[in-house]
Every structure is written in structure tokens, then in C-alpha cells.
Amino acid sequence: MVRGKTLSYAEERVNQYGADVTVNLCARDVMLTSRYAFETVDNYNMLPGSNHQNFVLETVLKLQF
């Protein structure tokens, strides 16, 4: 994704990658889902040379009754 094409001379470039895993437990009454995401941001906040990396780990436990 490219952000800020018309707002600044520096474009903010974002690359995102991720994966999800879901496991059914206890005959489908309980589901465990986990997500990992990684993101790189070049020219963060439209500032040249300001690069960031973001990591996200999310876990969800879903109970159905």
C-alpha cells in the first residue's frame, strides 16, 4: 500500500503479511484462533528515512453454548 501520494514528496509504503490458525476443541463447542501479523512501513508519517516494523499476535478463545 502507498499512502500520501499527493500530500508529501515522501510516499509512505506499507507491506503487510499474516497468518491465521483455527483449532476446534471439545467437539466444536470451543474454538481457539491465533493470528500473527508483520508489517513494515517505509517513510513512516511521510518522513523520509523513518522506517518502522510492527508485530501483532492475537489469540481468541470462542465458546459456543
Q: What is the pLDDT of residue 5?
A: 60
Q: What is the pLDDT of residue 1?
A: 64
- Where are the domains positioned within the chain? 2-63
Give 18-22's long-range contacts (Cβ < 8 A, gap of 24+): 18/56
Full-model pTM: 0.65
Q: What is the pLDDT of residue 26?
A: 80
SS3 45: helix
**Residue 31: in which H helix or E strand, if any?**
strand 30-42
Residue 9 has pLDDT above 90, yes or no: no
Dump pLDDT digits (tens) for 18-65.
999 999 988 778 999 999 999 999 988 888 889 999 999 999 999 988
Q: What is the pLDDT of residue 12?
A: 86
Tell me the residue type at 17.
Answer: Y
